[in-house]
Amino acid sequence: MSDLQERAQALDTADELAPLRELFTLDDTVYLDGNSLGALPRHVPARLQEVLTREWGELRIRSWDESGWWTAPERIGDRIAPIVGAAAGQIVVGDSTSVNVFKAVVAATRLAPEGRDEILVDADTFPTDGYIAGSAARMTGHRIVPVAPADVPGALGPRTAAVLLNHVDYRTGRLQDLPGLTATVHAAGAIAVWDLCHSAGALPVGLDAHGVDLAVGCTYKYLNGGPGSPAYLYVAERHQAVFDSPLPGWTSHADPFAMTPGYAPAEGAVRGRVGTPDILSMLALEASLDVWDGVGIEAVRAKSLALTDFFLECVGAYVPEGRVVPVTPAAHGERGSQVALRCADAGPAMSALIARGVVGDLRRPDVLRFGFTPLYVGFADAERAARVLADVLAAPAA
């Protein structure tokens, strides 16, 4: 056993989060793609079976009241809230991330002071965010200004209505300065909108503490909600009375069953609802969140940084020199919970890794991406992944 293998074993033995791995359905594969799709918590199938057979099969329509279906979007939002540093009553679950980005961006322009006609968007954003923001801008008469997050302070001005940024860059794993950028946006009189897809469940966010206005995020990555599980929308309490959703659906009406032709918005984050909730996927998500009971996000962050540090050390020790170049920042304050490595033959390398039981993913054209989910990834996983990567890159081309 190598020194690194021995260290991995010792680190796993000392890891306070290690027992959580048993809560998930996992095999001998090293699964480092939880930043795309989280692993399945073991108890979720039984919960879904109960929903299918009893709540839907027996109670049928009665389950909207008797099984709590109707209030699920707010109830589950309150369970996500502490993970992202929000008080109860500010998060509603439902729709996709893309739909919630649209709601948030348009609502942000309506919250902004009169006369502002620019929306600043992360130039390296996940593509959908840019597509949605561009459409929102066309519909509202605003102009999109793509800008790198580091350049946001210099791009802000009296015309800036809103700024849409990703907390963690999905390609490189770079963590943006949410507190500092939010404060800078506010100093310019604009509204800050954050996409938390690659940070929620991996590191502290502090939505309330840092004064974020609006935020969106998915639940199928670090929150393990399942493929296509519903996203969420955060509306800071101070904005809720005037939050004006561009999608005023019937379930966000103050009296949804009155079925009146005129729209009167409900109070609170409920205004972020649109149509009938996706109950099966929503209740799977609710069950998945049980794995967070008693887990502090600070402990998750500490393990995330230790895992990614150790993986980078193993890569440096094992992988032939010059074959990969880390693009994820080394500084802890600038790193999310993934490691991205630039590799000339990244496509074949990732295929070979997966064939050998190490699952990461490829970001074309040349980035190998490895996500570290602290609830179920261990240090032995990190060491093995680096060792197999070294073998793959040392092997002659086929």
Of 301, 240, 299, nearest in space to 273 by CA: 240
Residues whose CB is less than 8 angstroms from the CB of residue 102 and which lie 6 or more positions away in sequence, other chains included? 132, 135, 136, 246, 247
Q: Which residues are catalytic?
A: 126, 195, 220-221, 369
Which residues make beta-bridge pairs with 363? 367
End-to-end CA distance of the chain: 30
The DSSP symbol for 95 reads: S
| DSSP code string of 232-290 | EEEE-GGGTTT---SS--GGGBSSGGG--SS--BPSGGGGG--SS--HHHHHHHHHHGG
State how beta strands 118-122 and 367-371 pair. Answer: unpaired
| DSSP code string of 329-361 | -SSGGGB-SEEEEEETTHHHHHHHHHHTTEE-E
